[in-house]
Amino acid sequence: MGGPTVACRITELVLDCRDPERLAEFWCEVLGYAVLGKEGDDVEIGPPEGFGGLRPTLVLSRSDDPRNGKLPLHFDVNATDRDQDAELERLLAAGARHADVGQTGQESWVVLADPEGNEFCLLRSRVT
Can you give the pLDDT of all 128 residues of the chain as single tens digits?
A: 566 776 788 899 999 999 999 999 999 999 999 999 999 999 999 999 988 888 999 999 999 988 777 777 889 999 999 999 999 999 999 999 999 998 999 999 999 999 999 999 999 988 87
What integer pLDDT is reported at residue 70 of this predicted model?
73
Dist CA 75 CA 20 (whole Å) = 17
Instruction: Please tell me whether residue 34 adopts helix, strand or coil conformation.
Output: strand
What integer pLDDT is reported at residue 42 of this predicted model?
97
Please, what are the domains in the chain? 10-64 (3.30.720.120), 72-128 (3.10.180.10)
Return the number of other C-beta atoms located less than 10 Å from residue 68's C-beta: 6
Dist CA 46 CA 27 (whole Å) = 9
Q: Are 83 and 102 contacting, i.e. CB atoms less than 8 angstroms apart?
A: no
Q: Are 82 and 126 contacting, i.e. CB atoms less than 8 angstroms apart?
A: yes
What integer pLDDT is reported at residue 108 of this predicted model?
94
